[in-house]
Amino acid sequence: MHVAVSEKLTSLQVMQDAPVIPVIVLNDVKHAVPMAKALVAGGIRMLEITLRTSVALECMRVIANEVPGAVVGAGTVRSAADAKAAADAGARFAVSPGYTSAVGKACRDLGLSLLPGVATGSEIMMAQEDGYNELKFFPAMQAGGPNLLKAWGGPFTDVKFCPTGGVSPENASQLLALSNVVCVGGSWLTPSDLMAKGDWAKITELAKQAAAFSR
């Protein structure tokens, strides 16, 4: 799929681009550009940079400016202020660990596509009330994994999920085989030790493996 740089993304485009959305924790701005280039070289370009470190926004800015093949997303978006800061830093999509209407409204006002986090039927219904049918299931493996996704397939036939949390190369295929799963999220593509060592080739290799998962 080709998404033009200026095009407004839909949540489904974010989810369909590759089988895995990397959940990235950056502690050093110097790692941002080589990390993003390494993932893009491996075929992964929807990058969820979590708002968990003091340098996260600066990392988004440099990736958005210097890695044209990457699409910057913000993870751990928990408030309207987080969404605004992320959009200002160049994020084009947002991922939240839970869902509030305030976060949904902020993202719509900012033109950010949002993958709202849900873990219960009530949360799915609240997100759907606000128009969201493509959702992050978090924390996926801790909260019920494939069995819960299969159960949700009954009542929530119109919802697609990105399970995230406890997902690994070992269990990703089982999740991706489910009809209501479009992609998965996980942190294994960008381990902190590889980034600290600057082993970008290994990150490209992990990205290639992830991009090759069938779904």
The residues annotated as belonging to the active site are 48, 136
Which range of residues in 29-37, 38-46, 184-192, 200-208 is near ligand 3PG by CB under 6 A?
A: 184-192
> Nearest 10 degrees: CA dihedral of 3, 21, 215, 142?
-150
Q: Give the Cα separation of 154 and 214 in Å (integer).
A: 24
Q: Segment 5-44, which members bind ligand 3PG (CB under 6 A)?
A: 23
C-beta of 104 vs 185, nearer to ligand 3PG = 185
Report the side by side order of strands in the sheet with 117-118. Answer: 117-118, 134-137, 160-163
Binding window for ligand 3PG (CB under 6 A); candidates: 106-114, 150-158, 181-189, 191-199: 181-189
With CB under 6 A as the contact rule, the residue among 164, 182, 190, 206 that binds ligand 3PG is 164
**18 vs 23 by CB, closer to ligand 3PG:** 23
Count of residues touching ligand 3PG (by CB under 6 A):
9
CA 12 to each of CA 3, 79, 160, 161, 182: distance values in angstroms, whole numbers, following the listed order: 12, 22, 9, 10, 8
| Residue 111, number of CB atoms within 10 A of its CB | 10
φ, ψ at 142 (rounded to 5°): -70, -30
Pick the binder of ligand 3PG from 89, 167, 182, 210 (CB under 6 A). Answer: 167
Q: Which is nearer to ligand 3PG, 138 or 156 (CB)?
A: 138
According to DSSP, the residues that pair with 202 across neighbouring strands are: none
Q: Considering the complex, state which of residue 138 and residue 152 has its C-beta at the smaller distance from ligand 3PG.
A: 138
Cα 156 to its chain centre, rounded Å, is: 21
Closest CA to 10 of 54, 99, 71: 71
CB of 143 to ligand 3PG, least distance (A): 11
> Least Å distance between CB 174 and ligand 3PG?
15
Categorise residue 73: left if φ over 0, alpha if ψ from -120 to 50, beta otherwise: beta
Whole-number minimum distance, CB 141 to ligand 3PG, in Å?
7
Question: Which listed range, 58-66, 123-131, 152-160, 179-187, lies at the site for ligand 3PG (CB under 6 A)?
Answer: 179-187
Q: Kindly list the residues in this chain that would bind ligand 3PG in the complex (CB under 6 A).
A: 23, 138, 164-167, 185-187
